[in-house]
Amino acid sequence: MAVLTEEQTMLRDMAREWADNESPVTAFRRMRDAAPATYYDPAAWEAQAAMGWAGILVPEAQGGVGMGYLSLGMVLEQLGRTLTATPLAATASATSALLLGGSEKQQAEWLPRIAAGEVIATLAIDEGPRFDPATIATKVEGGRLTGTKLFVAEGDSAQLFVVAASDGLYLVSGDEGVTRSPRKLTDSRSHAELRFDGAPAQKLEGGDDLLTQVADRATAAACAEMLGMAEAAFAQTNDYLKTRVQFGQALSSFQALQHRMAKMFTELELMRSVVEAALEAIDSGRANVSQEVSLAKALANETLHLVSREMVQLHGGIGMTDEHDAGFYLKRARILEAMWGNASWHRERFARLGGF
């Protein structure tokens, strides 16, 4: 566990308590069954904003709490544990673009409203089903942006888009020149397709490097959610093995299963280290952020992949049923594995950045 300040410890504990009590997996199930057009729970998002989480990254001067990425990660980890469906990760990722590349005027216009939870923001980067920030065809001419973005998280409800065009990142707000089409993925969250047809756009400073920096932050946020999911999936599996009796004994008495749990526990410890290290690297502005992020995502992908598969397998028949939660973890896991680059993508970048 990273060394936390007193403030961070409080934040983490509060988030954990809130997620456990106010937003358990049954809340996600209710949202899924109700299938709202937003694909998230507005009441939960309001509550999160009221607790200041929408403004975790936003400086105090703009109405936020300015606590940084490790703090954000801690909250997302707790929400990942219970699969809470809110636009926090997407909004925070878009916020990082404003913080890194926004002019004073742009920051003043958006950050206070984001911190207050009034504006849901998101990144619109990819134009294909796989993460590929190097191939972007979206164009801006005369302040008008044209292009199509696939699988935009919270794209069904966001009012502010940070859009990648061939010459950098742009802000697009409102619905002028924007067409949204919902896309239903296995995780029952929002992943809309967006068509921009001459939408008014404002450029952010920073060019190509800004996209890399912003994507790294979004990736780290995804890793934090994945950490929480892996932790919860593992804990539930461990609990189940202790209670399920077959052959007159608890499943947890079988050494074949004990060793598998021990392996997963080990992988989880490694995952926690690399995810926290990536978040800390961002907070302290280290030069090797990209490499730390790639390390984190590659391991997070593999560990969550393993744990989510084992969760179903070790629950046996019950894990295959919709009424059990295992399927929710499995389905959300694959989405996060694909978002912001799969393990191959990040291993490749890690090698490139390391010069081998």
Partner 1 sequence: MATAIEGDAPVDAGEAFRAKVRDWLAANFPPSLKGKDNGMSAVEGPSEPTPDEDAWRKAMGETGWGVPTWPKEYGGGGLSRAESRILQEEMTRAGASNPIGGMGVMMFGPTLLEYGSEEQKREHIPPIARAEIRWCQGYSEPGAGSDLASLQCFAEDRGDHYLVNGQKTWTSGGQWADKCFMLVRTDRTKKHEGITFLLCDMDSPGVEVKPIRLISGSSPFCETFFTDVKVPKTNRVGQEGEGWTIGKRLLQHERSSLSGGSGAGRMFAGTPLSQIAKQYVGVDGEGRIADADLRGRIVRHEMDMRAFMLTLRRASQEAKSNQGPSAATSIMKNVGARIMQERSELLIEIRGLAGLGWEGEGFGDEELRDVRTWLFGKAVSIYGGSSEIQNNVIAKRILGMLDHQ
How many chain residues are in contact with partner 1, going by CB under 8 A? 51
Under rule CB under 6 A, residue 250 binds ligand FAD: no
From the list 62, 70, 63, 95, the residue with the least C-alpha distance to 15 is: 70
Q: Among 83, 93, 89, 71, which residue's Cα sits nearest to residue 14?
A: 71
Cβ-contact 84, 19 below 8 angstroms: yes
Q: What is the pattern of x (binds partner 1, CB under 8 A) and - over residues 218-247?
A: ---------------------------xxx
Taken as a whole, the chain contains a residue count of: 356
Neighbours of 83 (CB within 10 A): 27
**Min separation Cβ 261 and ligand FAD, Å:** 11
Which CB atom, from 174 or from 316, has the smaller least distance to partner 1?
Answer: 316
Kind plus residue range of the DSSP H or E element containing 270: helix 255-283
Which of 33, 247, 248, 356 lies at the binding interface for ligand FAD (CB under 6 A)?
A: 247
Element (H, E) at 148: strand 144-153
Token pair listed for 339: 């978002």
Q: Given phi > 0 = left and psi -120 to 50 = alpha, else beta, which region is 83? A: left
Q: Does the protein bind ligand FAD through residue 246 (CB under 6 A)?
A: yes
Q: Do residues 297 and 343 touch, judged by C-beta distance below 8 A?
A: yes
Rule CB under 6 A: choose which of 313, 322, 344, 352 binds ligand FAD: 313
Residues 86-115 that bind ligand FAD (CB under 6 A): none
- Indicate the residue among 276 and 325 with the shorter CB distance to partner 1: 325
- Biggest CA–CA distance in the chain, Å, is 74
Considering only residues 152-211, where is the footprint of partner 1 by CB under 8 A?
A: 181-188, 191, 193
Looking at residues 269 to 298 of the shown chain, list those that interact with partner 1 (rule: CB under 8 A): none
150 touches partner 1 by CB under 8 A: yes
Decide which of partner 1, ligand FAD, none touches 309; Cβ closer than 5 to 8 Å per partner kind. partner 1
> Which residue's structure tokens are 């050494």?
255
Q: Are 297 and 223 in contact (CB under 8 A)?
A: yes
Residues in contact with partner 1 by the rule CB under 8 A? 128-131, 150-151, 181-188, 191, 193, 245-249, 253-254, 256-257, 305, 309, 312-313, 316-317, 319-323, 326-327, 330-331, 334-335, 337-339, 342-345, 347-348
Residues in contact with ligand FAD by the rule CB under 6 A? 244, 246-247, 251, 254, 256-257, 313-314, 316-317, 320
